[in-house]
Structure 1
Amino acid sequence: MHEDAVPYVATGDVLRVAFVVPLQGPTGIYGPSCLACGQLAVEQLNRVDGIAGRAVELVVVDAGRDPEVVADEVGALVDAGRVEAVAGWHISAVRVAVTRRIGGRVVYAYAAMHEGRDDTPGVFMLGERPINQLLPAAHWMREQLGVGRWAVVGNDYVFPRVTGATARAALHGTRSEIVSETYVPLGTTNFRGVLDTLDPGRVDGVIMLLMGQDAVHFNRQFARLGLSETIHRLSPAVEENTLLGGGAGAHDGLYAAAAYFDGLGTAESVELSTAYHERFGPWAPTLNAVGESCYEAIRFLARMGQVCGSLDVAAVGAMAPGHFYDSPRGLLRLDGNLLNQDVYLAAADGLEFVVQEQIARTT
């Protein structure tokens, strides 16, 4: 604890969680879905046993700001004892900053797809990763669509950079290859210079590692130039909010890989969808992989509390490996601090996704 921090003494048996989700900036497009899914998870838990027998309360932190600003706010909450865990969806640049500030002190349920392992005590990486998301999707598109010459277009921070490098190394020596990589600042709105480099004679697929509103702008401009007719797109991050933002005509030939889609149709996913729309009505924020991941993170904390008796970092760190549990994504298995999960590939159809195939399974 910082020397000037004042300990917070809880009134009542409440467990407060810093809920770190974007409310502004390029990734702010996800915010309403994140907030609604987090609220639903808390309401469901508090109708039963909460987390480890304590009522749950979310303390919302806006993750759409500079990573160091977000990390300072989360750090201040932890320093003062006002929160006992951290959860939510946010870009990996924010995760790195938050982990540097509070790593090892409280449990941190990171919901987003990610570039790989983070061994900081108490950090759990709940999202998809290249080995079970992007790479099997690229393989499927090679086999089914003949797409093998990929251009990577991503935002310039840790997740796109590391994921692009992973794809380049993994595809080397196969029938697929990365022929170019371009990274642009988060918040880019004009992609004409990037799009002009996409020669259909040299490239037949784009791996999009663009977040939120950046992906919306890219998809609109991509379609406007007629590139959809000759070049496919693959993204681990595009979800239903992005489709709505882009408009129905911007997504021909666009594929997404994720552990959850609103139209997935499994028994587990339908249960969440039904509860969500009953709670928030027909005008609810779009239910999608990003929002669902926030629901997943809160429910994960509850599962840890149930198994370990508390969210103390030492207690959860002592949990036996290979722990299985059920979620809206189906059966999940905790492997160290990573989750193994089923992953699906879906094709955009106007403003919706149509699942094509399951490309990874829980192991």
Structure 2
Amino acid sequence: MQRRAFVTTASVALAGAFQPMASVWAAGPLKVAALLPLSGPAGLFGPSSKACAELAVEQLNARGGILGRKVELVVGDAGLPPADAGQVALKLWKGEGAQVFIGMHDSAVRGALVGLFKGQVPYFYTPVYEGGECAVGTYMNGETPQQQLEPAIPWLMTERKIRKWYLMGNDYIWGRNTNAAAKGYIAKAGGTVLGDEYVPFTVDNFDSSLARIRDSGVDAVLVSMVGGSSVSFNRAFAGFGLADKMVRIGSLIEENTLAGIGFQNAKNLYSSMGYFANIDTPAAKGFSNVYFKRFGEKAPALNDLAESVFEGFLMLDAIAKKANSLKVADMDPASEGATYDGPRGPVTMHARHVDQNIYVAQATDHGFRVVKTFPHVSSGQTCKV
């Protein structure tokens, strides 16, 4: 392990071997607000995200906090509509004195918070997202479509002899931008898109869409849908008898979504993401072991979105150390080249986005199995720092 040996230090902390005394802290506590989906459509990710935030704080404090300050975690619900989530953030910021924000929530809420913070407070946004966010003081740890699909699509086309595609997405900025990017990667690899369509989150009957997919004669379907919408579509896809005939790949199908789809409905289903719970590396295995030791065998399932919160804390620590400051004016230039080793592998920030490993996994009867790793993939973003 390198300088952030989180597995070892977490084990020590959990064993109680290293308990910092209050007198060793350099200054007052550093309040970090984690804005997580504790309610709403993404509420199923709330418990695991909160657990990952708690684990990150325990580990940071076990090795001296951030810049010598003990980290104090406060949590707010970001599963609300953007205006309401903004009010939650405002109360944590101005009312409770939060000095850093880490957010795992949808892009609409992110837009509201960027407008609220206006670069006055460091804000780490951790989940998969559509790309393009360049606001000052906003640091993006999540995967972009360029990372998830530019290497994965040509690989899958070669591996499964795919040429003709159909693109399904939710009618939302992430779904549309992801599919727009995918069209370029498909064309560059010699493929053709024969159809694409976008449905509201509220749609739960996909018969007409599935009939069009069936009749199009495509080899593969890109599923850019979220949560329950993805579950309903993929279950219906299998019910239509298409799972045996076509390959599916998604960039937001993680362990919870796969459980909802059901292994029996997941034949020929792939996912491309920065983290899966069963990544076969010492770092990922160590993280999983510590997580379940801390929260028990019945802990909320690990998944990409929840684990991204843990990564957000690691990046906060890396940038703060490099800047020797928690001021945005110091952290922005220091973010360029900030790096750490975490459960996903080595992560480096450029243009306030991260280069990271991308894993392609195939669904099996026992969950996801990683079948291809693309090391240290660039985010493809060009924000000026």
TM-score clears 0.5: yes
Give TM-score, length-normalised by structure 2.
Answer: 0.86
- How big is each residue's C-alpha offset from its partner over 1:146-202, in whole Å with a ceiling of 9 and x where there is no partner? 223222212222111111112223433541233222222234333223222212543
Matched, 1:124 2:139: yes
Q: Which residue of 2 aligns with 1:111?
A: 126
1:29 match: secondary structure: helix
Matched, 1:19 2:34: yes
- How much has 1:25 moved relative to structure 2? 2.6
Matches within 5 A, 1:184-199: 184-199=199-214
Native 8 Å contact 1:330 1:342 kept in 2: yes
Task: Call closer, same or farther: CA 1:177–1:85 in 2, change over 3 Å.
Answer: farther
Structure 1 counterpart of 2:275, from 260, 263, 277: 260
Q: Could you tell me how far apart the structure 1 residues matched to 2:159 and 2:209 are?
A: 27
Native 8 Å contact 2:318 2:338 kept in 1: no
Q: Could you tell me how far apart the structure 1 residues matched to 2:193 and 2:51 are?
A: 38
Q: Could you tell me how far apart the structure 1 residues matched to 2:83 and 2:271 are?
A: 30
- How much has 1:21 moved relative to structure 2? 1.5
Q: Which residue of 1 aligns with 2:108?
A: 93
Matches within 5 A, 1:123-142: 123-142=138-157
Task: Call closer, same or farther: CA 1:312–1:188 in 2, change over 3 Å.
Answer: farther
2:214 match: secondary structure: coil
Q: Which residue of 1 aligns with 2:19?
A: none
Q: Give the partner amino acid of 2:356.
A: Q
Q: Which residue of 2 aligns with 1:47?
A: 62
Native 8 Å contact 1:240 1:353 kept in 2: yes
Native 8 Å contact 2:231 2:258 kept in 1: yes
1:260 match: secondary structure: coil
Q: Could you tell me how far apart the structure 1 residues matched to 2:192 and 2:70 are?
A: 50
Q: Could you tell me how far apart the structure 2 residues matched to 1:107 and 1:81 are?
A: 16
Native 8 Å contact 1:154 1:160 kept in 2: yes
Matches within 5 A, 1:28-67: 28-67=43-82
Q: Which residue of 2 aligns with 1:238?
A: 253
- How much has 1:40 moved relative to structure 2? 0.8
Matched, 1:167 2:167: no
- How much has 1:137 moved relative to structure 2? 1.3
- How much has 1:17 moved relative to structure 2? 2.0
With 183-192 and 247-256 compared, the bigger mean Cα shift is at 183-192
1:277 match: secondary structure: helix
Q: Give the partner amino acid of 1:68.
A: A
- How much has 1:320 moved relative to structure 2? 6.3
Q: Could you tell me how far apart the structure 1 residues matched to 2:119 and 2:35 are?
A: 17
Q: Which residue of 2 aligns with 1:207?
A: 222
- How much has 1:303 moved relative to structure 2? 1.8
Q: Could you tell me how far apart the structure 1 residues matched to 2:190 and 2:372 are?
A: 21
Q: Could you tell me how far apart the structure 1 residues matched to 2:271 and 2:54 are?
A: 26
Task: Call closer, same or farther: CA 1:64–1:186 in 2, change over 3 Å.
Answer: farther
- How big is each residue's C-alpha offset from its partner over 1:282-305, in whole Å with a ceiling of 9 and x where there is no partner? 111111111110111122212222
Q: Could you tell me how far apart the structure 1 residues matched to 2:341 and 2:184 are?
A: 33
Q: Could you tell me how far apart the structure 2 residues matched to 1:73 and 1:94 are?
A: 11
Task: Call closer, same or farther: CA 1:320–1:258 in 2, change over 3 Å.
Answer: closer
1:206 match: secondary structure: strand
Q: Could you tell me how far apart the structure 1 residues matched to 2:255 and 2:104 are?
A: 16
Q: Give the partner amino acid of 2:217.
A: R
Structure 2 counterpart of 1:276, from 291, 316, 326: 291
- How much has 1:216 moved relative to structure 2? 1.4
Q: Which residue of 2 aligns with 1:338?
A: 353
1:316 match: secondary structure: helix
- How much has 1:15 moved relative to structure 2? 1.6
Q: Could you tell me how far apart the structure 1 residues matched to 2:373 and 2:188 are?
A: 25
Q: Which residue of 1 aligns with 2:18?
A: none
Q: Could you tell me how far apart the structure 2 residues matched to 1:214 and 1:247 are?
A: 14
Native 8 Å contact 2:30 2:72 kept in 1: yes
Q: Could you tell me how far apart the structure 2 residues matched to 1:101 and 1:320 are?
A: 21
- How big is each residue's C-alpha offset from its partner over 1:32-69, in whole Å with a ceiling of 9 and x where there is no partner? 21111111111111222222222222222222221222
Q: Which residue of 1 aligns with 2:22?
A: none
Q: Which residue of 2 aligns with 1:222?
A: 237
Gaps of 5+ in 2: 1-26, 379-385
Native 8 Å contact 1:232 1:253 kept in 2: yes
Q: Give the partner amino acid of 1:298.
A: F
Task: Call closer, same or farther: CA 1:242–1:356 in 2, change over 3 Å.
Answer: same
Q: Could you tell me how far apart the structure 2 residues matched to 1:350 and 1:200 are?
A: 28
Q: Could you tell me how far apart the structure 2 residues matched to 1:173 and 1:305 are?
A: 40
Task: Call closer, same or farther: CA 1:156–1:69 in 2, change over 3 Å.
Answer: farther
2:243 match: secondary structure: helix
Q: Could you tell me how far apart the structure 2 residues matched to 1:335 and 1:322 are?
A: 6
- How big is each residue's C-alpha offset from its partner over 1:240-281, in whole Å with a ceiling of 9 and x where there is no partner? 111222222121111001111111111111111111011111
Q: Which residue of 2 aligns with 1:146?
A: 161
With 255-264 and 207-216 compared, the bigger mean Cα shift is at 207-216
2:270 match: secondary structure: strand
Give TM-score, length-normalised by structure 1.
Answer: 0.91
Q: Could you tell me how far apart the structure 1 residues matched to 2:93 and 2:137 are?
A: 14
Q: Give the partner amino acid of 2:298.
A: W
Native 8 Å contact 1:21 1:60 kept in 2: yes
Q: Could you tell me how far apart the structure 2 residues matched to 1:247 and 1:45 are?
A: 37
Q: Which residue of 1 aligns with 2:11?
A: none
Native 8 Å contact 2:166 2:221 kept in 1: yes
Task: Call closer, same or farther: CA 1:70–1:356 in 2, change over 3 Å.
Answer: same
